Amino acid sequence: MSNSPHCYDETALAAVYRVIRERRDVRSFLRTPVDPDTLARILQCAHAAPSVGLSQPWRFLHITRLDLRQKIHALVQEERLRTADALGNRRDEFLRLKVEGILDCAELLVVALVQGGAREIFGRRTLPEMDLASVACGIQNLWLAARAEGLGVGWVSMFDPLRLAELLRFPEHARPIAILCIGNVAQFDPAPRLALEQWRQPRPLSEMLFENDWPDGAP
Ligand SMILES: Cc1cc2nc3c(=O)[nH]c(=O)nc-3n(C[C@H](O)[C@H](O)[C@H](O)COP(=O)(O)O)c2cc1C
């Protein structure tokens, strides 16, 4: 524990570290429904995220129509095949991975980024992508809260944003950045699925933590 007087008590602190450690990207779901109050709570956590200039540039579309869910799934399948073709010699290996659970999950959200354009320059004048970073903070909050509630979340980013925007009648200044599959799970994986399936192994923090300037030859 730290020596700060504002530190959480030991049990609360352990829970925070635990949820960060045990959050996983999930692609296999049980069919059991998600309690609506729990869904509301995790959405409230997303909405509590930090945002550049307090711009709150997120919108959440709760997809409850089956026909829309199926169309979203079809868009993801198309992009999955395009991704596979672009991967060259890892094509078949990629196609064996499960990269979404859109038809299986209990709840489906599409998360949109609202682009404030030139009006929103607070904190974004030189780094316009800070609006995207803000929405990602919201998604991470939801992801962690969901894990603590025992719910799995899978972030799917394999889709053509223009076609998804058209399907969901987005205005011009908004674009979808995530499809979130949410639901109960049989179990949480002990490590990232991509590592378990030998797609890629995570590298340690020591390779990514530098002192002062960028070391020669560091990736
Ligand atoms: C921005 C973002 C986009 C992602 N898009 C996908 C995706 O389209 N399909 C997928 O299977 N996983 C996707 N993931 C999940 C990552 O593969 C996963 O977070 C990573 O392998 C680490 O695993 P973990 O989240 O279980 O720790 C995405 C994650 C992030 C942060």
Q: What is the pLDDT of residues 161-170, one digit of tens each?
A: 999 999 999 9
C-alpha closest to that of 180 among 11, 2, 50, 26: 26
Q: How far is the CA of 4 from the centre of ligand 1 (A)?
A: 34
Q: Dihedrals φ, ψ of 176, to 5°?
A: -75, 140
Residue nearest to atom 30 of ligand 1 (CA): 155
CB of 147 shorter than 6 A to ligand 1 = no
CA of 155 to the centre of ligand 1 (A): 6
Compute the distance between CA of residue 84 and CA of residue 128 in angstroms, rounded to an integer: 30
Q: How far is the CA of 9 from the centre of ligand 1 (A)?
A: 32
pLDDT at site 157:
97
pLDDT at 112: 98
Burial of 140: CB neighbours in 10 Å, binned 0-12, 13-18, 19+? middle
CB 157 within 8 A of CB 86: no
Residue 31, phi then psi, degrees to nearest 5: -80, -10
Q: What spacing in Å lies between the alpha carbon of 126 and ligand 1's midpoint?
A: 28
Please give the number of the atom of ligand 1 that sits closest to the Cα of 76.
8
Cβ atoms within 10 A of the Cβ of 152, count? 27
Question: Is 70 exceeded by the pLDDT of residue 118?
Answer: no
pLDDT, residue 117, reads 64
Q: Determine the topology of domain 25-186 in CATH.
A: NADH Oxidase (3.40.109)
Residue 16 Cα to ligand 1 midpoint, Å, equals 21
Q: Give the pLDDT score at 120.
A: 73
**Distance from the alpha carbon of residue 119 to the mean position of ligand 1, in angstroms:** 32
**Summary mean pLDDT of the chain:** 96
Residue 160 has a CB neighbour count (10 Å cut-off) of: 15
**pLDDT of 152 strictly over 70:** yes
Tell me, yes or no, if the pTM score tops 0.75. Answer: yes
For residue 5, the 8-state DSSP code is T
137 lines ligand 1 (CB under 6 A): no
**Is the CB of 192 within 6 Å of ligand 1?**
yes
Does 83 contact ligand 1 (Cβ within 6 A)? Answer: no
Average pLDDT over residues 20-29: 98
165-175 as b/e, with b when 16 or more CB fall inside 10 Å?
bebbebeeebb
- CB of 144 shorter than 6 A to ligand 1: no
Mean pLDDT confidence for 132-155: 98
Per-residue DSSP letters for 165-217?
Answer: HHHTT--TTEEEEEEEEEEE-S---SS-HHHHTTS-PPPPGGGT--SSSPPTT
Question: Which ligand 1 atom sits nearest the alpha carbon of residue 100?
Answer: 11
Dihedral sign computed on CA atoms, order 204, 208, 212, 216: positive
Domain boundaries along the sequence of the chain? 25-186
Q: Amino acid identity, residue 187?
A: Q
Determine if ligand 1 sits within 6 Å of the CB of residue 76.
no
- Measured over the CA atoms of residue 128, residue 129, residue 132 and residue 138, the dihedral's sign is negative
In the reported structure, the alpha carbon of residue 135 is separated from the centroid of ligand 1 by a whole-number distance in angstroms of 15
pLDDT at residue 82 tops 70: yes
**153/144 Cα distance (integer angstroms):** 9
Residue 30 amino acid letter: L
